[in-house]
Structure 1
Amino acid sequence: MRLCFGCFDGGNSNKRMTKEEERLASEEARARAAEAAQKRQEQFDNSAAGRAARAQQQAMAKQSASSNKGEPVLKWQMS
């Protein structure tokens, strides 16, 4: 019986190729997921709910910036 040793490498190259293909597929999937997330974010930003959320965040930031002007948070009153 003859064996073709040139074709036999114990299956290592096939595993390496599979791992490389898996890495590429994973990279492509991450890129597609990032694109989909970006589209969802843009759609949300342009929606009424997105605009309301942005306005609320800006109002909260403005309020927190102006609410504490160096005064202690708790004021003690002596009676």
Structure 2
Amino acid sequence: MIRTVLTAALVMAVATAAWAEDRFWVVGNRATNKCEIVTSNPVVTIMGDIWFASGPFKSLDDAKLARSTINACPNKDITSED
């Protein structure tokens, strides 16, 4: 019985850690005229500040690479630091 409880607790801890891993999106922000990398799923609206989103990406490096290849992103933003 104790073995079953410990196994269940271990499985839940691993599953929770895997589910909570970060995801990244590249968004076009009309207010700042930049492409930004965010960690929450953006809401894209026609009349709002966020006018496009790409993702999710598993790592920050993947998101930065994607941002550098998106034609809608201003070239000056590609080399900027986050």
Q: TM-score under structure 1 normalisation?
A: 0.36
Ranked by relative contact order (alpha carbons within 8 Å, sequence separation 6 or more), the top structure is 2
Pick the structure with more helix per residue.
1
Pick the structure with more strand per residue.
2
Q: Is the radius of gyration larger for structure 1 or structure 2?
A: 1
